[in-house]
């Protein structure tokens, strides 16, 4: 069946939407696509830069046994340079463990209160306060550890110095708490209300509903929140540099000063000759940190994807 020429022209004109609004829509579509893909490009660019600077040392000069098992970090020694990171790895792990011991109870408790008990303006104000805590710069947290927590720990525990694992762990725990609280609250809110209603219909109290129903249903989201908190604490630099004492020792207690991997890079990179073995060793530490944080964040992302697919 043929279509008259006049009618065909009318249909083409009606379907031709390439006017000014169409071009504006395409422009914003392209702009948003660039913004979205830029995050991936920036991450890849950072990884390529860090790997390029440290790959030569890793491939040709790095002694893997010394790098991971030796506590001796003497990159500028005129006799025999050594590049052991064991003490820094142990210090970073100790601080991260203490920070999670501080952050997780407070964060999960705050998330439970906001999601299950708070109502109206109380909930909104609490969410605003949590967001403000997340916006505090790390150097400010470092000053709090240096000027407030340091003398408090000395007075309370009667130790010679308050810049130690406990100090930096508390500070990093407070820094990681907002992100853990926000993600944990989302996990609680994702639990269907029908679960709560069914438990209450069976005579369960509010706490029984939370303990027996909400927490088990949100366990994957809580694990994801904890992993992201670990990544936040593990990768922090300035606060742990100012609050840890920056001493190259394997900690035997929470009152020992330590040196973190990130703090070592921040403290030494600015005074290191570009291209030297010391310079490349610091970038090798950066590759190690990047790999660990990538694994942590990827694991958390896979857990979140598993939640959405359930």
Q: Indicate the pLDDT class of residue 12, thresholds 50, 70 and 90.
A: very low
Of the two residues 100 and 79, the one the predictor is more confident about is: 100
The architecture that CATH gives domain 82-309 is: Orthogonal Bundle (1.10)
Q: Report pLDDT for 11.
A: 47
* pTM greater than the 0.95 cutoff: no
Q: Report pLDDT for 4.
A: 57
- Tell me the two tokens of residue 232: 């936040």
Hey, where are the domains in the chain?
5-60, 82-309
How many Cα neighbours within 13 Å face the side chain of 121?
A: 0
Tell me how crowded residue 214 is: count the other CB atoms within 10 A of its CB: 19
Express each pLDDT in 17-31 by its tens digit: 577 888 888 888 898
Q: Are strands 73-74 and 82-83 parallel, antiparallel or unpaired?
A: antiparallel
């Amino acid at each position: 069946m043929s279509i008259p020429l006049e009618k065909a022209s009318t249909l083409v004109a009606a379907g031709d939407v390439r006017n000014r609004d169409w071009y504006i829509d395409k422009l914003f579509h392209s702009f948003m696509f660039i913004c979205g893909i830029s995050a991936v490009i920036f991450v890849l660019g950072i990884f390529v830069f860090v790997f390029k600077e440290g790959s030569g040392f890793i491939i040709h000069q790095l002694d893997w046994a010394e790098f991971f098992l030796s506590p001796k970090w003497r990159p500028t020694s005129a006799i025999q340079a050594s590049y052991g990171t064991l003490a820094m790895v142990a210090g970073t792990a100790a601080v991260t463990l203490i920070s999670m011991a501080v952050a997780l109870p407070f964060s999960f408790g705050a998330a439970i209160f906001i999601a299950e008990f708070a109502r109206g303006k109380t909930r909104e104000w609490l969410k605003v306060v949590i967001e403000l805590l997340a916006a505090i710069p790390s150097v400010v947290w470092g000053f709090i550890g240096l000027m407030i927590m340091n003398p408090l720990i000395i007075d309370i525990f009667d130790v010679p110095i308050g810049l130690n694992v406990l100090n930096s762990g508390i500070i990093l725990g407070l820094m990681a708490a907002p992100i853990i609280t926000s993600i944990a609250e989302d996990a609680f809110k994702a639990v269907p209300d029908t679960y709560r209603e069914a438990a209450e219909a069976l005579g369960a109290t509010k706490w029984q509903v939370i303990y027996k129903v909400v927490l088990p249903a949100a366990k994957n989201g809580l694990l994801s929140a904890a992993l992201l908190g670990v990544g936040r604490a593990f990768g922090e630099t300035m606060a742990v540099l100012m609050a840890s004492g920056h001493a190259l020792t394997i900690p035997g207690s929470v009152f020992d000063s330590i040196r973190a991997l990130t703090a070592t890079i921040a403290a030494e990179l600015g005074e290191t000759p570009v291209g030297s073995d010391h310079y490349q060793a610091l970038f090798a530490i950066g590759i190690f940190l990047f790999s660990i944080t990538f694994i942590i964040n990827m694991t958390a992302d896979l857990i979140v994807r598993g939640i959405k697919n359930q």
